[in-house]
Structure 1
Amino acid sequence: MPRWAVVLIFVVVGLICIGSLFDANGNSKTAAAGSAVHDDGIRFEVISWGQGATETRDGLLFDEAQGEFVIVKFTVTNVAKEPKSYSLSSQRLIDGEGREFEPISSGHTSLNPGFSEEESIAFDVPKGTTPKLVIFKSGFFSSGARVNLD
């Protein structure tokens, strides 16, 4: 394949990904707090979130924050007609300054159609950070679905 064709493919894919983040008026597609959002056959819904903890424990694993943790509890439901998977490490938190944080949690989960489960993810952020929204993604290459936290 000619080099120009490869570059063209990357440009087109990039534009599609960027365009999927905005509505017809150029506004970012962000759902209101408490709304369920969908990404590639998976529904994500925030149950609750909290901020300020400096330690978290998951079974035998213990983590200590460099700053403080923002912990988001959410439900994941497979609304597709085939098994779907998602990765906790693909989720993102955006603060009021537009900074992006990745979770300390990792793991890959598969769900059969119609099944749901509750998850919690922790983001280590500087103390005093104002969380603005979460981007839920079914996978690394997904454009994601944005949910306001306020």
Structure 2
Amino acid sequence: MHSNPQQPPQGYPPPYPQTVVVQKKGGGCLKALLIGAAVLAGLIVLGTILKGGGQSDTQASLTDTPEHATQTHKAKKPQVPGLGDVVKDGKFAFKVTKVEKGLSQVGEGFTVSKAQGQYVLIHLTVKNIGDEAQMFSDSAQKLIDAKGRTFDADSGAAALGLKDSNAFLNNINPGNSVNGILLFDVPKDVRLKAVELHDSLFSDGVTVSLAR
């Protein structure tokens, strides 16, 4: 006679109920809950990052728009000096005070000079800001028109026809200043753009706008 293996022998208490399966089920549920919570937290963090990145991209795109770049470029564009502005080149400080044009001749009698086109007179003040004497000469100065052409000063006509030229080989001591006139012979239909002023033939020069 065989005893049932599932039945305890007579005289012994029944074994404790097995809880292994219950514990496994309980552990699986807890693990699932933890994984779900972790996934949810990850999605929240990812959403926050993507949202922040989108705002940064939008702000960057607004900053980098062509209109903004153009405004920045305009703000940084330097202003070209004009009439009444003091500019410096080497040992000289210049200030253009007046422009005359349309003169057909300068001087009187034996000192008269007639223009091939028209005479343009550039009135200016020249001051020596260096620590030694410097020669000011109109031959170092250039007139520029709207087409980009450059014109040399007419030293002969200025020396003969302009009493107050002071622009032909005038030696200026430190701290002194003179009022001079530059004379240019240019076409009658010329459109003036600027005058380029130098303290010598070999200096870099500085440009003063004459456009109006």
Instruction: Tell me which interval the TM-score lies in, with the shorter structure as reference length.
Output: 0.7 to 0.9
Name whichever structure is richer in helix by fraction. 2
Whole-Å Cα distance in 2 between the matches of residues 72 and 64 of structure 1?
17
Deviation per residue, 1:84-127 (Å, 9 max, x gap):
22211111100011000001026211111110111111111111
Which residue of structure 2 aligns with residue 87 of structure 1? 137
Which gives a bigger RCO, structure 1 or 2 (Cα 8 Å, sep 6+)? 1
Shift of 1:29: 8.3
CA distance in structure 1 between the partners assigned to 2:170 and 2:185 by the alignment: 22
Which structure's CA Rg is the greater one? 2
Q: 1:40 aligns with which of 90, 98, 107?
A: 90
Q: Which residue of 1 aligns with 2:104?
A: 54
Contact 1:93/1:102 (CA < 8 Å) preserved in 2? yes
User: 1:58: how far off?
Assistant: 8.2
The count of residues paired between Structure 1 and Structure 2 equals: 124
Give the drift of 1:30: 3.9
Q: CA deviation at 1:76?
A: 0.5
Given that residues 124 and 180 in structure 2 are in contact (C-alpha distance below 8 angstroms), is that contact kept between their aligned partners in structure 1?
yes
Whole-Å Cα distance in 2 between the matches of residues 113 and 39 of structure 1?
14
1:140 matches 2:201: yes
State the 1:67 CA deviation.
0.4
8 Å CA contact 2:83–2:98 kept in 1: the answer is no
Give the conservation status (yes or no) of the 8 Å contact 2:122–2:183: yes
1:55-70 matched pairs, under 5 angstroms: 55-57=105-107, 61-70=111-120
Contact 2:83 2:95 in 1 (8 A): no
- Secondary structure (helix, strand or coil) at the match of 2:139 reads helix
- Which residue matches 1:128? 189
Q: 1:82 to 1:59 in 2, by over 3 A?
A: farther
Residue aligning to 2:21: none
The alpha-carbon deviation at position 28 of structure 1 amounts to 8.8
Deviation at residue 77 of structure 1 after TM alignment: 0.4
Q: TM-score if structure 2 supplies the norm length? A: 0.54
Q: Is 2:171 the counterpart of 1:113?
A: no
Residue 75 of structure 1, aligned match among 121, 125, 139:
125
User: What is the TM-score when the length of structure 1 is the normalising length?
Assistant: 0.75
Write the distance in 1 (CA, Å) between the matches of 2:119 and 2:151. 11
